[in-house]
């Protein structure tokens, strides 16, 4: 995974957490506003009620502005997340019979649309070879091995929730 993608993932995660905190703050403010309303109109009449309504209207407009900003931020985060890694699949295997253990692997990293990469590392006594194959909409222009297809299917199940 590139460092740029990692930075984006971290940034989006932080923004998501800030969004959750902000929404919690807005809910708390709304609860206080409701308590004020109950206190304000618990028997008031005439001009006092009009002044209370004006103050309440101003507060509501402020909260609506904040909600609009939160919704905008949520849309931005959702747009960014659509292009981040959402599915990961990994299959370990023995590439050659003369090597011990399942030290070779196929790793699929995809976004929500199936775009990404399949990385394969083939371990041999002489060294390890690493290969990368790009993915677009769950397919690659290069032939995928059985292990790579398994890793891609694992990633797809993670994305699609299956």
* Residues 43-59 pLDDT 10s: 555 666 777 778 888 88
**Which tens digits make up the pLDDT trace of 116-132?**
999 999 988 888 899 99
Q: What pTM was computed for the model?
A: 0.56
Domains: count for the chain:
2
Whether residues 29 and 15 share a domain: the answer is: yes
Whether residues 77 and 11 share a domain: the answer is: yes
Whether residues 14 and 49 share a domain: the answer is: yes
Long-range contacts from 105-108, C-beta under 8 angstroms, 24+ separation: 105/147, 106/145, 106/147, 106/148, 106/150, 106/151, 107/151, 108/135, 108/148, 108/151, 108/152, 108/154, 108/155
């Amino acid at each position: 995974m590139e460092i740029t993608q990692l930075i984006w993932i971290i940034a989006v995660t932080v923004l998501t957490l800030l969004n959750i905190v902000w929404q919690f703050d807005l809910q708390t403010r709304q609860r206080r506003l409701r308590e004020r309303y109950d206190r304000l109109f618990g028997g008031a009449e005439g001009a006092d009620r009009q002044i209370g309504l004006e103050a309440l209207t101003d507060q509501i407009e402020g909260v609506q502005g904040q909600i609009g900003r939160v919704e905008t931020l949520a849309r931005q985060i959702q747009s960014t997340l659509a292009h981040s890694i959402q599915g990961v699949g990994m299959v370990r295997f023995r590439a050659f019979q003369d090597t011990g253990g399942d030290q070779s692997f196929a790793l699929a990293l995809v976004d929500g649309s199936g775009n990404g990469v399949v990385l394969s590392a083939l371990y041999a006594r002489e060294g390890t070879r690493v290969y990368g194959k790009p993915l677009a909409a769950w397919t690659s222009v290069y032939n995928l091995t059985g292990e790579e297809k398994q890793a891609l299917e694992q990633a797809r199940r993670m994305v699609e929730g299956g």
